[in-house]
Structure 1
């Protein structure tokens, strides 16, 4: 969930000096809107997550606090059973649970692979839960309201579902097609933002 977002802010104004005959004419400054500045990755989510692979399936409740490049995620089963704590900052991600003990890695993807043997673009989730693509190579499909309804990126198809006229999704379904014709599927239901 550690993001490598770079913020770019540039302000451009253009003025043109033109001469007409012997009279100097100064064209008024053109008004160009400043490029959109991406909001920082900062949110607090609560909900339920389900994972289904050809080998296993399971679900948990989650609380996810994201502050720029740092995050805290708590996963738990019904009534808080099987609590897992995941913390991350640039260059260090840790997972601590009674089942696995403490596991550390440099990236969320490396941590997931160490803990489960499974590969997934975990870092992209930070953008996907905000209805944004994580890379410039993403393919986007919009819904009838003009919101991003689907993101196809890095081998995953992410379907975003919205409640009424909300700007941010309340449900994400991530699918990864496998060579066997089966798929890996992650379903996130966001109950509170």
Structure 2
């Protein structure tokens, strides 16, 4: 029974990482103004998560159509498929091990599933090489593409294939106490 509980928790945690990453509870910050843009894309790739307490990886497919999204994860510790779906006002996580968990926002879903709070919706902008808020600090490369975004306690390093305008790899880092960090590596194989 203990193994099933740990496996279910790992499944929920990895599923929510596609939208954010493992984060210890931090005091919520004032929300800076959001940058308004249309959000439509489809991604496939692999995501890896490393925290002081655990690590893991999964393959993902992510379809985003403005506020609506569908994310499918496979390969989470050999558990099988996990699906996260969202539309305005409702986000659902479903897997054979956890059943269905529902919340109003991706951030609330993460908090319900794991007890952590993180800027989940920012990843939608970060995979498109954009900051999510006007308060972000952005460093650009010689081709004027964002190569580092610092925002809401996260540092995002973006890598590109040759002259591509959109990144093929993102490394999200959150500094923790005692020199530790949460790290999410997101590889985008297909757009």
Shared fold, TM over 0.5: yes
> Which secondary structure state, in structure 2, belongs to the residue aligned with residue 163 of structure 1?
coil
* Partner deviation per Cα, 1:59-80 (whole Å, 9 max, x = no partner): 00000000011100000107x8
Distance change in 2, residues 1:103/1:112 (3 Å): same
* Partner deviation per Cα, 1:130-163 (whole Å, 9 max, x = no partner): 0000000000000122110000000000000000
- The two structures have a TM-score, normalised by structure 1, of 0.78
Unaligned runs of 5+ in 2: 1-18, 20-32
Q: CA RMSD in A?
A: 2.0
Stretches of 4+ aligned residues off by more than 4 angstroms = 4-7
Once residues 116 and 52 of structure 1 are traced to their aligned partners in structure 2, the CA distance between those partners, rounded to angstroms, is 15
Match of 2:131 among 133, 139, 163: 133
Unaligned runs of 5+ in 1: 8-37
The aligned counterpart of 2:28 is none
Greater length-normalized contact order (CA 8 Å, ≥ 6 residues apart) = 2
Once residues 84 and 59 of structure 1 are traced to their aligned partners in structure 2, the CA distance between those partners, rounded to angstroms, is 13
State whether residues 102 and 109 of structure 2, in contact with CA within 8 Å, keep that contact through their aligned partners in structure 1.
yes
* Partner deviation per Cα, 1:93-150 (whole Å, 9 max, x = no partner): 0000122110001111111122223332110000000000000000000012211000
> What is the aligned length?
160
The aligned counterpart of 1:161 is 159
Match of 1:68 among 66, 70, 93: 66
- The two structures have a TM-score, normalised by structure 2, of 0.79
Once residues 126 and 164 of structure 2 are traced to their aligned partners in structure 1, the CA distance between those partners, rounded to angstroms, is 15
